[in-house]
Amino acid sequence: MIRKVFEIMLKDYDTVDAFCGIRRVQDIAEKNKTDCFPVTDNGKIIGVLTRSDLIKTHPNRIVLDAMSGSYKYIEADESVWEAKELLEGQGTDILLATQDDKIIGIVTKNAINVEISKHIDLLTGLYKSDYIIYNCLKFLEHGSEISIVFFDVNNFGYIDKEFGHTVGDNILKEIAQILKDNAPEGTYLCRYGGDEFALLTEVCAENCKALAQDILNKVKQHEFYGNIHIGISAGIAGGERRNPRKGNMYKTVTNLINLASLASTKAKKEKDNLVLGYSGIIDEIAI
Amino acid sequence: MSKNVDSSKKAEITMRMSEFEMPPMQDVLIVGRRAPIGPEAARRMVDILSPEQYEIIKLDHSVIEAMVVRKALFNILPKEKLIELLLEEGGKVANESTIVKAQVNIVLQISKSIDL
């Protein structure tokens, strides 16, 4: 399941008063290793004091004359990916997590970076599966049609056994690079599992065939580590929602990915290594 | 051989007294980006002593962060003109760690002719 803001937010956080002296806040920051402070005036949050403010401001100043950071609100039940996107927005230093219009915690850039780093595959530098699932849900929320192209390396177990795992790792890195280089703008890529990669697009499944075929060809033409011949297979599944206001689509999305994965397994037996597994309405995909 | 050393300590006290300026700034404060007092603190300080009489003008300037200006000056001269003038002259003396106090005297010369 995708992690939520309330799971990573800081519940016990320091705030500083707008009229507090910077020297005192510097001492607090040093002691508590805090990098960002919500600033309050009469109990209300009015701004954010960042570590950069603490470094560049004269210690005699009051917080009100030093704070340059800004904040945004986020529902505590939102996903960490939503929080990441908000924090990547221009000039947002901190998120105030709310529940029933009450601030119940804060999310700093550090906290998000720590969390998101858990979702990055160290070998290939690609995101892991959560990233694709989140973006699928986001596309569906916006009423877009989505398609998953699932790539699977042919006979990867044999390559690992025959040439060793380090060679296998190098090959996976090269495949990841080919996918990165050839994934069109507006698509999302992840390493789904061992030798499996998934690409999310906002176009219908039939229109993904050409894109998938192009990537298969690029892999075929690539000269891999140790001149080992590598082939990959691709399965496609996609569709659109019929009921835009339907509840939790998480299970539906994972089912769609599963259909694409099954299609990629089937594609291994096909001559062109490509199978369109599912295309249609995805409100209730049952497998 | 023993030595007797007489020692004594004295303190010399000098005093300087003058009337406290009210408020302690005159017409304009030019606040540097790294000055020990920020514009908000300066305005609030002066607001306690002379409520509602001063305004902060935040500036997009490499050295000067803001000016705290006596509002009455804007009745005589348009805000933009006065700020431009203060920036032009103040920018030459202020640096980012200073607070410069400026006294601004404006004399209007008016000449009118009327039909008799």
Share above pLDDT 70 across residues of chain A, in percent, rounded to a whole number: 96
Residue B66: closest C-alpha in chain A: A65
Asked if A64 and B40 come within 8 Å (Cβ–Cβ), the reply is: yes
Q: How far is B42 from chain A (nearest CA, A)?
A: 10
Closest residue in A to B42 (Cα–Cα): A65
pLDDT beyond 80 at A90: no
Could you read off the pLDDT of A240-256 as tens digits, one per residue? 777 766 667 888 889 89
Cβ contact A66–B38 (<8 Å): yes
Per-residue pLDDT reduced to its tens digit, A214-235: 999 999 999 998 888 899 999 9
Of A56, A61, A64, the CB nearest to B36: A61
Is the Cβ of B36 closer than 8 Å to some Cβ of chain A? yes
Instruction: State the nearest Cα–Cα gap between B55 and chain A, in angstroms.
Output: 15
Tell me the residues of A at the B interface, defined by beta carbons under 8 Å apart: 56-58, 60-62, 64-66
**A-chain residues near B35 (CB < 8 A):** 58, 61
CB atoms within 10 A of CB B4: 4
Using the beta-carbon criterion (under 8 Å), do A65 and B34 form an inter-chain contact? no
Measured between CB atoms, does B93 come within 8 Å of chain A?
no
Which pLDDT band holds residue B2 (cuts at 50, 70, 90)? Answer: low
- In this complex, is the C-beta atom of B95 within 8 Å of any C-beta atom belonging to chain A? no
Average pLDDT of the segment spanning A100-114: 91
SS (HEC) of chain A: CCCEHHHHCECCCCCEECCCEHHHHHHHHHHHCCCEEEEEECCEEEEEEEHHHHHHCCCCCEHHHCCCECEEEEECCCEHHHHHHHHHCCCCCEEEEEECCEEEEEEEHHHHHHHHHCCECCCCCCECHHHHHHHHHHHHHCCCCEEEEEEEECCHHHHHHHHCHHHHHHHHHHHHHHHHHHCCCCCEEEECCCCEEEEEECCCHHHHHHHHHHHHHHHHHCCCHHHCCCCEEEEEEEEECCCCCCCCCHHHHHHHHHHHHHHHHHHCCCCCCEEEEEEEECCCCCC
Q: Does B38 touch chain A (CB under 8 A)?
A: yes
Lowest mean pLDDT among A53-62, A146-155, A165-174, A221-230: A221-230
Residues A64, B97: C-beta atoms closer than 8 Å: no
User: What is the nearest CA distance from A19 to chain B, expressed in angstroms?
Assistant: 8
Mean pLDDT for A195-224 is: 92
Convert the pLDDT of each residue in B9-31 to its tens digit: 999 999 988 787 777 778 999 99
pLDDT at position A284: 66
Q: Cβ of A58 and B97 within 8 Å? A: yes
Decide if B40 and A56 are in contact by the 8 Å CB cutoff: no
Best of B40, B64, B98 to substitute, by most chain A Cβ atoms within 10 angstroms, is: B40
CB pairs under 8 A between A and B: 25
Q: Does A64 contact B38 at a Cβ distance shorter than 8 Å?
A: yes
Residues of B in contact with A67 (CB under 8 A): none
Residue A139 has pLDDT above 80, yes or no: yes
Q: How many residues does chain A have?
A: 287
Task: Indicate whether B1 pLDDT > 60.
Answer: no
Distance from CA of B37 to the nearest CA of A (A): 5
Residue A174, token pair as written in the block:
């090269």
CA distance A189 to A136: 11
Choice between B38 and A280, residue whose per-residue pLDDT is larger: B38
Tokens 């609100």, residue located: A73
Instruction: Point out the least confidently predicted range of A160-164, A249-253, B76-80.
Output: A249-253
A57 neighbourhood in chain B, CB within 8 Å: 34
pTM, two decimals, is 0.76
- The angle subtended at Cα A84 by Cα A83 and Cα A87, nearest 5°, is 85
The answer to whether B24 faces chain A, any CB pair under 8 Å, is no
Mean pLDDT within A121-141: 93
Please give the full DSSP string across B16-61, using - where no structure is assigned: ---PPPSSSS-SEEEEETT-SS-HHHHHHHHHHHSTT-EEEEE---
